[in-house]
Amino acid sequence: MPSTLPTAVPEAVLFDLDGTLVDTAPDLAQATNALRQHHGLAPLAYEQIRGQVSNGGSALVTLAIGLESGSQAHDTAREYLLDAYEQAVAVHSQVFKPLDQWLTRWHAQARLWGIVTNKPRRYTLPLLDALALKPGALLCADDLSVKKPAPEPLWEAAHRLGVAPQACWYVGDHVRDIDAAKAAGMTAVAVGYGYISEEDNYQQWPADIWFETCEDLVDALNAFHHTANQ
């Protein structure tokens, strides 16, 4: 975490979903190991799967059974994995602590926030319903013709919230999130507690701010919350 933070209070905070706002890895790991079991293979360790979650279903298929994308067999396996996930999308998933408490306070103050994710609505809406999350703006992978790292979903989220992109933070746990935020003209916030593989260094991403832990992020957001209410 840098020694100084931007002095301007963000008018809106936008989040990536998986690995940034919600810890979805436990349920995705179960689906990944269901695919393994379907192919007669032993379960993978949770931490091995966790590091690939932000790379999407295709990456999880490759990790699980070694099939690279671009084949019918890979596509069939991906559908199997995603069907298994859809049946148990919010069994163990939960908002990262203490973001859950911060979000409750932020929402109660009618402050603006949203979610921009590359997760399709098919899985996002049941997850948000189960967690009682009601973002002011929600952009999923299938809402526009492009998705992150393109800036358009972030621009659309800001538009729906009625704020300028420059007045938004975008928080993410993947370099594509940071690239999207920079392209959109938002404050790019990288977090190190998400689904980051061992060979990746989030502190090398071209962010404006870096937070190692969720507690660090919430401390900064709480400071802004206090400033805004003085």
More confident of the two residues 222 and 131: 131
Token pair recorded at residue 95: 């908002």
pLDDT confidence of residue 54: 86
pLDDT confidence of residue 109: 87
3 has pLDDT over 60: no
Question: Which residues carry out catalysis?
Answer: 16, 18
Confidence band for 44, pLDDT divided at 50, 70 and 90 = very high
Q: How many CB atoms lie within 10 A of CB 138?
A: 19
Query: How many whole angstroms separate alpha carbon 127 and alpha carbon 22?
Result: 9
153-189 confidence digits (pLDDT tens): 999 999 999 999 999 999 999 999 999 999 999 999 9
More confident of the two residues 158 and 56: 158
- How confident is the prediction for the chain on average, in pLDDT? 93
Query: How many whole angstroms separate alpha carbon 21 and alpha carbon 34?
Result: 25
| The total number of residues written for the chain in this structure | 230
| Amino acid in the structure at residue 48 | Q
Query: How many whole angstroms separate alpha carbon 106 and alpha carbon 168?
Result: 15
What mean pLDDT comes out for the span 28-49?
97
pLDDT confidence of residue 120: 95
Q: Is 56 left (phi over 0), alpha (psi -120 to 50) or beta?
A: left
85-104 confidence digits (pLDDT tens): 999 999 999 999 999 999 99
pLDDT confidence of residue 7: 59
CB-neighbour burial class of residue 3 (10 A; exposed 0-12, middle 13-18, buried 19+): exposed
Q: Where does the chain have alpha helices with state H? A: 25-38, 46-50, 57-65, 72-86, 99-108, 121-131, 152-161, 175-184, 214-228
Query: How many whole angstroms separate alpha carbon 204 and alpha carbon 89?
Result: 32
Domains of the chain and CATH, by start: 12-24+93-228 (3.40.50.1000), 25-86 (no CATH)
pTM for the full predicted model: 0.93
pLDDT confidence of residue 202: 96
